């Protein structure tokens, strides 16, 4: 019961301990400095477009702009009301001087540039959620170890992680919301709050689809945890009710107006669009790989449910990391790796320091991968302040994209090199897991 344990906030202890506050302050300063100067215009412009679409009465799907399930659009609904109440009136402009950046084929650079104020306002949302994710990591590690120092290390590994900062603070992508909802699901599962767990997971899966795949491991956790007390069925029923309730609530506008398919149209168009026969092959290959990943996910869940029941919480955390890593064996863009990151951090702190190797590889690789926008990240500052000239941004962009030594453009080293490192990091997560598991001598599931 909530009333069982009183809620206390005391400076110097718990999440408000000194080292956490120092990391928090440092992380926020880095975020605001980075966020002020650097913005990926392509996606942040889209958020402004989505807001104007629904403000003009066209909801989320009547005109192009929102290419996701509706939940992120709803967050933008509340954001727009608050931001406009505070006087944010200009979201961005199409800058004629910046048009040359759209001339690079194959790169999503946009001369539709959000203002620095709009971009920072959106990013502030992500920063707040980053803190909440950090708190969730802190809470889980403390719950497992009763050691606040370890929990603080976990918080720091998240909050100062360069690609976590880059994804929200530069890219303006909202994956940190998905991560938070997933971690809340884990906390509620660990504390037997199954209705809330289902609600959180349902909302997470409707923000980005990947957390939905983790449901099987979570079901296995409930079966494992309640193997002997007969509470598994009511727990799963509660979770199911919570999950379905949130899905219905989130999708009710589209259900009522008969446009439900619009919410999921992006699933079939994420791969291969505009690529003709090659595109079709990529689409089929995508579905084939995801089918294989789905099969592995089911196998993981099956083995987990049938494994040792000595430490279900530890097993859950480990299997979520493994499942997330398996999920991203289909190469992902940098922002998706955020879902894997908290579970990897927890393994570093909770089970084996060898997990720091994939963490470091990901920290380098995914950050490089997330910097594909190179000098175009400065477009907002160049367009709306006098701090950087547009000519310098264009020259910088050109330098990054012009083939140099061995005919390789610097951006290729950063972007594709980063992508390769990210993939290696993902594989290393699974390799270290296999190593740790073999060392611990467990068969079906790891001892945590």
Partner 1 sequence: MTERKSDKPAVIIAVALLAIILIGEVIVYTSDYTDYSAEAGLEGDSLGYQVSADGSKTYSVVVNDNGTYDGMDRLYIYFDESYPANYEDVDVSIGAQALDQRYYLEQVVNLLKPRNFHDITYVDAEQLADALAGDLASDGCGTAGLLVISGVLPDTVYTGNADDTIFQWLSGGGSLYWLGNLIGECYATTDGLQHVDGYQELFFGAECLNTEGVDTAYSEVDGNDYTHALALQSNSVKYAVDGDRVPDDRAHLSIGFTEGGYSSITLVQYGSGMVCVLGGDYSNYQRNDLVQIISSGLGPQSSIVSVETGTVTNGTVSGRIEGVTGSSLSAFIYLGGYYPVYNKLFWL
Interactions with partner 1, residue window 46-65 (CB under 8 A): 46, 48-49, 51-52, 54-60, 62-65
Question: Least CB distance from residue 139 to partner 1, whole Å?
Answer: 6
The interface with partner 1 within residues 159-188 (CB under 8 A) comprises: 177, 180-181, 184, 187-188
Q: Are 35 and 169 in contact (CB under 8 A)?
A: yes
The interface with partner 1 within residues 374-403 (CB under 8 A) comprises: none
Give the integer Cα–Cα distance in Å for 274 and 306.
45
Task: Decide if residue 274 touches partner 1 (CB under 8 A).
Answer: yes
Indicate the helix (H) or strand (E) that contains 112.
strand 112-114
Q: Are 218 and 232 in contact (CB under 8 A)?
A: no
**CB-based burial label for 39 (10 Å; 0-12, 13-18, 19+):** buried
The interface with partner 1 within residues 6-25 (CB under 8 A) comprises: 6-8, 14-15
Sign of CA dihedral 411, 413, 418, 423: positive
Indicate the helix (H) or strand (E) that contains 193.
none
Select the residue interacting with partner 1 from 77, 309, 396, 417 (CB under 8 A).
77
> Which of these, 212, 235, 192, 167, lies nearest to 71 by C-alpha position?
212
Contacts for 302 with CB less than 8 Å, ≥ 6 apart:
220
Which string of x and - marks every residue 192-221 that binds partner 1 (by CB under 8 A)? -x--x--xx--x------------------
The interface with partner 1 within residues 86-115 (CB under 8 A) comprises: 86-94, 96, 99-100, 102-103, 108, 112
Select the residue interacting with partner 1 from 21, 28, 30, 75 (CB under 8 A).
75
Task: Decide if residue 80 touches partner 1 (CB under 8 A).
Answer: yes
Which is it for strands 92-94 and 112-114: parallel, antiparallel or unpaired?
antiparallel
The interface with partner 1 within residues 129-148 (CB under 8 A) comprises: 132, 135-136, 139, 142-146
Select the residue interacting with partner 1 from 28, 36, 67, 296 (CB under 8 A).
67
The interface with partner 1 within residues 22-51 (CB under 8 A) comprises: 46, 48-49, 51
The interface with partner 1 within residues 290-309 (CB under 8 A) comprises: none
Looking at the DSSP bridge assignments, the partners of residue 114 are: 92
Give the integer Cα–Cα distance in Å for 143 and 163.
26
Cα Rg, the chain, nearest whole Å: 22
Number of residues counted as binding partner 1 (CB under 8 A): 87
| Binding span for partner 1 by CB under 8 A among 166-174, 268-276, 299-307, 363-371 | 268-276
| C-alpha 47 chain-centroid distance | 17
For partner 1, the closer CB: 249 or 291: 249
Select the residue interacting with partner 1 from 23, 24, 41, 68 (CB under 8 A).
68
């Amino acid at each position: 019961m909530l009333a069982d344990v009183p809620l206390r906030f005391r400076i110097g202890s718990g999440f408000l301990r000194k080292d956490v506050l120092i990391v928090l302050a440092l992380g926020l300063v880095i975020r605001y400095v980075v966020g002020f100067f650097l913005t990926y215009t392509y996606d942040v412009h889209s958020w402004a477009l989505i807001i104007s679409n629904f403000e003009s009465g066209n909801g989320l799907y009547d005109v192009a702009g929102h290419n996701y399930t509706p939940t992120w659009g709803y967050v933008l609904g509340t954001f727009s009301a608050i931001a406009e109440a505070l006087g944010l009136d200009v979201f961005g402009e199409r800058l004629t001087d910046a048009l040359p950046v759209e001339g690079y084929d194959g790169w999503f650079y946009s001369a539709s540039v959000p203002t620095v104020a709009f971009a920072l306002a959106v990013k502030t949302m992500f920063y707040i959620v980053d803190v909440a994710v950090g708190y969730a990591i802190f809470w889980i590690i403390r719950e497992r170890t009763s050691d606040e120092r370890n929990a603080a290390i976990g918080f720091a590994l998240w909050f100062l992680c360069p690609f976590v900062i880059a994804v929200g603070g530069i890219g303006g992508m909202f994956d940190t919301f998905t991560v938070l909802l997933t971690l809340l699901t884990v906390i509620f599962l660990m504390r037997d709050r199954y209705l809330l767990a289902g609600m959180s997971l349902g909302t997470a899966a409707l923000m980005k689809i990947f957390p939905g795949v983790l449901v099987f491991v979570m079901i296995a956790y409930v079966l494992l945890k309640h193997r002997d007390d007969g509470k598994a069925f009511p727990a799963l029923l509660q979770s199911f009710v919570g999950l379905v309730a949130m899905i219905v609530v989130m999708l009710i506008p589209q259900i009522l107006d008969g446009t439900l398919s619009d919410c999921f149209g992006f699933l079939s168009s994420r791969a291969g669009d505009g690529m003709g026969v090659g595109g079709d092959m990529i689409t089929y290959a995508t579905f084939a790989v995801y089918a294989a990943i789905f099969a592995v996910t089911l196998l993981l869940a099956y083995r987990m449910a049938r494994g040792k029941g000595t430490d279900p919480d530890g097993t859950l955390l480990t299997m979520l990391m493994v499942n997330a890593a398996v999920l991203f064996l289909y190469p992902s863009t940098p922002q998706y790796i955020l879902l894997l990151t908290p579970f990897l951090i927890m393994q570093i702190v909770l089970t084996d320091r060898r997990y720091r190797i994939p963490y470091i590889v990901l920290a380098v690789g995914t950050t490089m991968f997330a910097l594909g926008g190179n000098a175009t990240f400065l477009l907002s500052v160049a367009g709306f302040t006098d701090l950087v000239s547009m000519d310098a941004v264009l020259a910088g962009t050109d330098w990054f994209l012009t083939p140099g030594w061995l005919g390789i453009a610097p951006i290729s080293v950063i972007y594709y090199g980063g992508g390769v490192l990210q993939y290696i990091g993902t594989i290393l997560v699974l390799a270290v897991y296999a190593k740790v598991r073999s060392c611990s001598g467990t068969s079906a599931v790891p001892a945590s």
